[in-house]
Amino acid sequence: MTTAPPAPVDTDEVAFVAGLRRLKAWSGLSYRQLERRAAQAGHTLPYSTAATMLGRDRLPRAELVAAFVAACGLRADQAEAWLDARMTIAYGGQRAEEEATPTPRIRSLRRPRRALAAVVALAAVLLGGTLAGGALTDDVEVDDTRTSLQVPRS
């Protein structure tokens, strides 16, 4: 890696992914090596995901780009340029005044939704069991019901 890494292209998705392919070629690393280096940098980048990402012409998610450029060995300022280019493409060629919500915050919002869904499901099961058991019915209604199973009163 004696030459400078390729610069990111922020014109369109196809050119951006082509730039990521050039970056992989520049790094000289295999997909398995990229997976290991991403893990060492604190990211998750399965080799199959990296291969799929480079095999398509769609804009990859920001966390994949961050993991990929870190695995390729880019410095923080170079990695930031790739993420900025991705954001420019994602916003249709215009830089947003405010930065997008960081990925860890997005993940943290998903957890409460799952927990809320689990609580609602549990409440529905408990309420259904209570209703099926007759705990919320009036005893008067049960006494007034005439069935063949009713015990005669003395």
pLDDT in tens, 78-133: 999 999 999 999 998 655 444 544 544 444 444 566 777 888 888 888 877 766 66
Residue 134 pLDDT more than 90? no
Q: What are the CA-CA distances from residue 15 to residues 45, 79, 80, 86, 108 (Å)? A: 21, 17, 18, 11, 32
Name the pTM for this structure. Answer: 0.60
Which residue matches tokens 């009713």? 150
Query: Rounded to whole angstroms, how far apart are CA atoms 30 and 49?
Result: 13
Tokens read off for 83: 């993420």
Higher pLDDT, 142 or 98: 142
Tokens read off for 140: 């008067």
Burial of residue 94 (number of CB atoms within 10 Å: 0-12, 13-18, 19+): exposed
Q: Where are the domains of the chain?
A: 13-90, 103-144
Query: Rounded to whole angstroms, how far apart are CA atoms 88 and 106?
Result: 19
Query: Rounded to whole angstroms, how far apart are CA atoms 104 and 66?
Result: 13
